[in-house]
């Protein structure tokens, strides 16, 4: 499997070995990113972990916003990536309101972000990177680096109203002003704008102001909706109760063989997985003496984000209820 972080390393090596000079373009973003993520712990999210993060993003925004009040990024730099093909549930929900694909805009194959924070882990910047199928050079996937980044501060709320017109997930909460306001408050913790390299990239590919405006709107659409995903992933990784398993992958032995073939080394990383298990047996419910409450019908409870005080955790899906099975009779004439 071609990981996004390895594609970045390959591109950085290709730039270093080429006759590239700064006055010929903006390819210096690749060695720059590799330098910035050199000591960052790297996490690869499994399909189940990403499914959980999507369910959280589609859940109640008010609970999510309350959890963010206690969230702290555990490292100064972190790299997180996943296979984008797994996010089918989000596509099904969002496609109800807007088409997901546009002519000439392929869906990403792998998607990831580098989060860099200041002291305290509450303020920083998120840079998005992705690869698309069929976009490669000499059989090496070419990573796309977003010129638009998210400058976030979880302790502040900006007055940028861009999300009112570009945020399609807001339609899920039409008719519920409390939840919709909480959803907007999540986006108000960040300002999306081109980075210093992003402005240089726009000047390099655009000739007129109209072209800059058009391309900038495309870049905003590429990453704006991913902001909430970054925080649902961080909540999974920092939950008070363990909800995911970590498995470190050491590539030193593989890199020795690659070094002999004069190939660039591959990154070590931590694989993040989530296992859905049977819930523990429910204890006897407390009720007044002589009170017999009818057990609710058997039904499935979806995964949700629970909170108690300043702690939060993810509750896995489970079957609730021990009542009699409900039978349905259909009369056909």
pLDDT along the chain (333 residues), means of 10: 86 80 73 94 91 86 91 95 74 52 66 95 96 68 92 86 61 86 91 93 90 90 89 89 85 94 92 68 50 61 78 78 55 45
Domain that holds residue 51: 4-273
How far is the first Cα of the chain from the last one, in angstroms, to the nearest whole number? Answer: 57
Q: Which residue has the tokens 């002519």?
A: 103
- Tell me, rounded to whole angstroms, the distance of Cα 161 from its chain centroid: 22
pLDDT of residue 101: 47
Residue 60's nearest CA partner among 305, 231, 235, 307 is 305
pLDDT of residue 117: 96
pLDDT of residue 153: 95
Please report whether residue 64 resides in a domain.
yes
From the number of C-beta atoms within 10 Å of its C-beta (0-12, 13-18, 19+), residue 126 rates as buried
Q: 258 is written with which tokens?
A: 């690659």
Q: Name residues whose C-beta falls within 8 Å of residue 25's C-beta, 6 or more positions apart in sequence.
A: 204
Please report whether residue 217 resides in a domain.
yes
pLDDT of residue 95: 53
CA distance 38 to 317: 37
Please report whether residue 206 resides in a domain.
yes
Please report whether residue 330 resides in a domain.
no
Q: What is the pLDDT of residues 203-215, one digit of tens each?
A: 888 989 899 999 9
CA distance 285 to 53: 31
Q: Which residue has the tokens 């920083």?
A: 124
* DSSP character string of 101-128: -BTTBPPEEEEEEEEEE-TTSSEEEEEE
Q: Name residues whose C-beta falls within 8 Å of residue 188's C-beta, 6 or more positions apart in sequence.
A: 157, 158, 159, 160
80 neighbors 110 (Cβ within 8 angstroms): no
CA distance 220 to 237: 26
Q: What is the maximal distance between C-alpha atoms in the chain? A: 85
CA distance 276 to 243: 10
Per the structure, the count of domains in the chain is 1
pLDDT of residue 126: 98
pLDDT of residue 316: 76
Please report whether residue 333 resides in a domain.
no
Q: 196 is written with which tokens?
A: 């210093």
Please report whether residue 282 resides in a domain.
no
Beta-sheet strands, E only, within 133-201: 136-137, 140-141, 144-145, 148-153, 190-194
Please report whether residue 213 resides in a domain.
yes
Cα–Cα distances (Å) from 247 to 37, 52, 239, 331, in that order, read: 19, 18, 17, 55
pTM, whole model, 2 decimals? 0.78
Please report whether residue 216 resides in a domain.
yes
- Tell me, rounded to whole angstroms, the distance of Cα 140 from its chain centroid: 24
pLDDT of residue 103: 46
């Amino acid at each position: 499997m071609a990981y996004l972080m390895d594609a970045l390393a390959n591109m950085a090596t290709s730039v270093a070995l080429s006759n590239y000079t700064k006055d010929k373009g903006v390819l210096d973003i690749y060695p720059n990113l590799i330098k910035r993520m050199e000591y960052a712990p790297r996490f690869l999210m499994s399909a189940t972990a990403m499914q959980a993060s999507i369910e959280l993003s589609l859940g109640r925004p008010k609970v999510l916003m309350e959890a963010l009040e206690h969230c702290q990024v555990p490292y100064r730099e972190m790299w997180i990536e996943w296979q984008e093909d797994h996010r089918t549930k989000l596509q099904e929900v969002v496609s109800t309101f807007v088409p997901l694909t546009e002519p000439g805009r392929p869906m990403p194959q792998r998607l990831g972000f580098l989060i860099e924070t200041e002291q305290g882990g509450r303020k920083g910047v998120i840079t998005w990177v992705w690869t698309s199928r069929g976009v490669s050079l000499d059989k090496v996937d070419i990573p796309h680096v977003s010129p638009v980044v998210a400058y976030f501060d979880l302790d502040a709320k900006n007055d940028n109203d861009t999300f009112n017109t570009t945020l399609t997930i807001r339609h899920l909460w039409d008719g519920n002003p409390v939840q919709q306001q909480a959803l907007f408050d999540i986006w108000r913790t960040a300002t999306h704008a081109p980075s210093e390299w992003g402005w240089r990239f726009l000047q390099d590919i655009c000739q007129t102001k109209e072209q800059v405006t058009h391309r900038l709107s495309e870049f905003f659409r590429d990453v704006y909706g991913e902001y909430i995903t970054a925080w649902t992933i961080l909540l999974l990784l920092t939950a008070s109760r363990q909800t995911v398993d970590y498995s470190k992958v050491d590539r030193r032995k593989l890199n020795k063989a690659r070094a002999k073939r004069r190939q660039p080394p591959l990154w070590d990383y931590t694989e993040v997985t989530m296992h859905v298990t049977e819930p523990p047996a429910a204890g006897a419910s407390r009720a007044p003496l002589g009170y017999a409450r009818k057990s609710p019908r058997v039904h499935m409870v979806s995964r949700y984000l629970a909170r108690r005080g300043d702690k939060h955790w993810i509750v896995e899906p489970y079957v609730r209820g021990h009542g009699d099975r409900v039978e349905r009779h259909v009369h056909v004439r």
